[in-house]
Amino acid sequence: RKEVEQDPGPFNVPEGATVAFNCTYSNSASQSFFWYRQDCRKEPKLLMSVYSSGNEDGRFTAQLNRASQYISLLIRDSKLSDSATYLCVPTGGGNKLTFGTGTQLKVEL
């Protein structure tokens, strides 16, 4: 099993829709998680940190399911500007952070 697995997508959704995608991880010792957003040909930028069961920031909600070892990202009221690739990063491997390959989201008119 890969350390981090994400559905690459793309997820094509209409503007205003709610979309969710999951990230599964193999290291049961992972204690905290990060979601990054990466625009095409740009660097990843931190979207959200998750240190407990979840986190919410405006239209974005992250939920952690430790029993099943996955973390989800929910985006409500999608905007065109949300179009990007979302990278999941579980911690727990010392100082080596392993990035998922990312899930591509395309929000359309």
Partner 1 sequence: DGGITQSPKYLFRKEGQNVTLSCEQNLNHDAMYWYRQDPGQGLRLIYYSQIVNDFQKGDIAEGYSVSREKKESFPLTVTSAQKNPTAFYLCASSPGRDSRNSPLHFGNGTRLTVT
Burial class, 94, CB count within 10 angstroms (exposed 0-12 / middle 13-18 / buried 19+): exposed
| Options 9-17, 58-66, 75-83, 96-104: segment touching partner 1 (CB under 8 A) | 96-104
| Options 19-27, 37-45, 58-66, 71-79: segment touching partner 1 (CB under 8 A) | 37-45
Decide if 9 contacts 104 (C-beta within 8 A). yes
| Dist. CA 33–CA 74, nearest whole Å | 15
Decide if 8 contacts 102 (C-beta within 8 A). yes
Q: Find the binder of partner 1 among 25, 44, 62, 64 (CB under 8 A).
A: 44
- Taking the complex as a whole, the smallest distance from the CB of residue 64 to partner 1 amounts, in Å, to 14
- Taking the complex as a whole, the smallest distance from the CB of residue 57 to partner 1 amounts, in Å, to 14
| Dist. CA 108–CA 68, nearest whole Å | 32
Point out which residues bind partner 1 (CB under 8 A).
4, 8, 31-32, 34, 41-46, 49, 51, 87, 89, 91-102
